Amino acid sequence: MSIWDRVRYVWMNGDFVDWREATVHLSSPVVNMGLGVFEGIRAYWNPRIKQLNVFRLRDHLNRLFDSAKVHRMHVPFSKGDIEKAVVELLSSNNFREDIYIRPIIYRGNLWQEEESIDTGIYAGPRATRLKGVDKGVRCCVSGWRRMSDSILPARVKACGNYLQYHYAMSEALASGFDNTILLTVSGKVSESPGANIFLIRDGVLITPSITSDILEGVTRNTLIRTIREKLDLEVVEREVDRTELYVADEIFFCGTGGGEVTPVISVDNILLGNEEPGEITERVRSLYLSLVLGEVEKYKDWLTPIYEG
Ligand code: PMP
């Protein structure tokens, strides 16, 4: 049985449709050219209070609409409409576990008038990795470079951008690594193909600046603020050299989907520390878990509860 067997409804252009009927046409520009923008959002089930909370829904939708704007796509719904649709979609599926949510805005049908834009949202179970013991990942520096803003903007979450994920990850996996780190065209550290990166050197957290051809991650933003405020550690956004990866005390990836907070234990087979997730990385991971579960009063505004009461 697949996890998708537990999903009943998908939201498409304002209506709830059966999961199996949520299809696009073969001729569509999104299939043929990747012409679409999307978001990856998580909702976490808190068993203590029996509530499902979406984490930073409005911030993800801000980025979704920014991505559409860069593509000159007019979204036929407001952010409020999409927010309401996400809440209704999760409750109508009666989800009571950790969920991954994907809104997508795309050119779905070549036969419709020129400007026709479709909007869909699907969601399904995806367990968090934050709770379990994670041994960390072994990475290489990719032979591929992160595309620059003057070629395809990494800043936006465009469907077509993820061809780079495919190239870079398949190269890394074929070489026996778990994940990979992309450099910019000018050789500075950018990000992993699906997550942002933090290095720790002498107790200071360093992350590539937003002009390093990164997706401006919601998790990255969350951590920059809360590491300063709750862990009382220094966080610096700046250009990062490749060799800093080799001399870092700790490295972790961060992102909503697969990564959340994922420790890196080696880069190009050069070990960081002693083959175990570092101490600061572990503190960051448990901080992030408490935030997404809504256990930190100060940041409760980041949560959108699904069920009443
Ligand atoms: N970079 C890339 C290329 C990504 O695909 C993601 C995942 N969306 C991230 C960074 C992290 O972004 P976020 O924290 O908003 O999920």
100-133 pLDDT, tens digit per residue, is 999 999 998 776 666 689 999 999 999 888 886 6
Question: pLDDT at position 132, please?
Answer: 65
Amino acid identity of 40? G
Residue owning the nearest CA to atom 4 of ligand 1: 194
Interval between CA 155 and ligand 1 midpoint (Å): 10
Question: pLDDT at position 75, please?
Answer: 94
Chain segment 153-200, per-residue pLDDT in tens: 999 999 999 999 999 999 999 999 999 999 999 999 999 999 999 999
What's the average model confidence in pLDDT over 43-65? 97
Pocket of ligand 1 (CB under 6 A): 40, 191, 193-196, 215, 217-220, 255-257
Interval between CA 195 and ligand 1 midpoint (Å): 5
**Position 309 pLDDT exceeds 80:** no
Interval between CA 272 and ligand 1 midpoint (Å): 23
What does pLDDT average to over the chain? Answer: 95
Residue owning the nearest CA to atom 5 of ligand 1: 194
In the chain, what percentage of residues exceed pLDDT 90?
89
Chain segment 48-57, per-residue pLDDT in tens: 999 999 999 9
Q: Counting atoms of ligand 1 from 1, which one is nearest the CA of 191? A: 1
Give the C-alpha separation, 40 to 144, whole Å.
24
Residue owning the nearest CA to atom 3 of ligand 1: 194
Question: pLDDT at position 133, please?
Answer: 67
Contact 24, 119 (CB under 8 A): no
Confidence of residue 134 (pLDDT cuts 50, 70, 90): confident
What's the average model confidence in pLDDT over 15-34? 93
Q: Counting atoms of ligand 1 from 1, which one is nearest the CA of 165? A: 3
DSSP state of 132: S
Q: Where are the alpha helices (DSSP H) in 123-200?
A: 163-174
Residue owning the nearest CA to atom 11 of ligand 1: 255
Interval between CA 51 and ligand 1 midpoint (Å): 25
Chain segment 236-251, per-residue pLDDT in tens: 999 999 999 999 999 9
Phi, psi of 183, deg, nearest 5: -95, 160
**Position 225 pLDDT exceeds 70:** yes
Question: pLDDT at position 129, please?
Answer: 85
Burial class (CB in 10 A: 0-12, 13-18, 19+), 174: exposed
